[in-house]
Structure 1
Amino acid sequence: MSIEEHLKLASIIKEARQEKGYSASELARRAGLQPSTVTRIEAAQLQHPQPETLIAIANALEKPTSDLFACLNWLPKEQLPSFTPYLRAKYANLPEQVQEKLENHVAKVVRRYGYETNGPEPGQDEF
């Protein structure tokens, strides 16, 4: 894992912990971990966090485990849902019109950078 990935993970966990009003020790207690484990992850000093550790932290913070796994690139892009099904599942309570506006806006932005919301990335399907 790169230092950027470690820093991103550290930031996500620390921010979520602070939003909950937990100390690092309290998060560790709720996750069933040693306080030093949480402290080392938040300081980007734990080189290879175990998936079980991140699952426990995500559960204690009431965050999707996939958020933590994705920032470490543990979820291959091919296994991530395309934007439309993700949006409709994640924000099912939004009015249909709002979902469509979001879909259209994101599609416009990603096309500007050479991507398609439902297709392969540039060069991905070339031999």
Structure 2
Amino acid sequence: MKHDAGQRFGEYITHLRREKNLSTRRLASLAGIDDGALTRLECGKVRTPRPTTVKALATALDVPLADMFARAGYVIPYDLPDVSTYLRVRYGHLPDEALSSLDTYLRDLIDKHGLDPDGPLSREDEREDFPTQ
């Protein structure tokens, strides 16, 4: 996250906090983070907030997790390239035949297991039983 992006994220957090009529101390308490850390975040002094902090703030502010991560500058599923593009960029040194085989194999796995290569739906990964790191 660049400095101006950090500033924008801090302004976003401040806006949400004020909209919900929360003090800095109260939001920090709800999110389980240090109020000094929240102040630094709101002032734009934190260039890249930790994912656990972003998640805690999303929960405390009742904002979709994907939205909060996007505002924090993290890549979200629709920003990612499709499988074919990724393979060609990452493994471009391989012959075209090998890349085509990899692409076909991955697409078969996706179809076989009913996976969605675009990632979870909004809030789908925020279920109580969803494993976290």
Cα drift, residue 21 of structure 1: 0.3
Moved over 6 A (4+): none
Cα drift, residue 45 of structure 1: 0.8
**Structure 2 CA distance for aligned equivalents of residues 67 and 22 of structure 1:** 20
Unaligned stretches of 5+ residues in structure 1: 90-127
Counterpart of 2:80? Answer: 78
Q: State the Cα RMSD in Å.
A: 2.4
Q: TM-score with structure 2 length normalisation? A: 0.56
| 1:52 and 2:52 are equivalent in the alignment | yes
Cα drift, residue 5 of structure 1: 1.1
Unaligned stretches of 5+ residues in structure 2: 82-117, 123-133
**Structure 2 CA distance for aligned equivalents of residues 72 and 29 of structure 1:** 20
Q: Give 1:1-127 correspondences, 5 Å limit.
A: 1-76=1-76, 77-78=79-80
* 1:16 match: secondary structure: helix
Q: Deviations over 1:8-65 (max 9, x none)?
A: 2111111000010000100000001110011010001123311000100110000112
Equivalenced residue count is 84
Question: Are 2:6 and 2:44, in contact at CA under 8 Å, matched by a contact in 1?
Answer: yes
**Structure 2 CA distance for aligned equivalents of residues 3 and 47 of structure 1:** 6
Percent identity, aligned pairs only, is: 29
**Structure 2 CA distance for aligned equivalents of residues 47 and 38 of structure 1:** 13
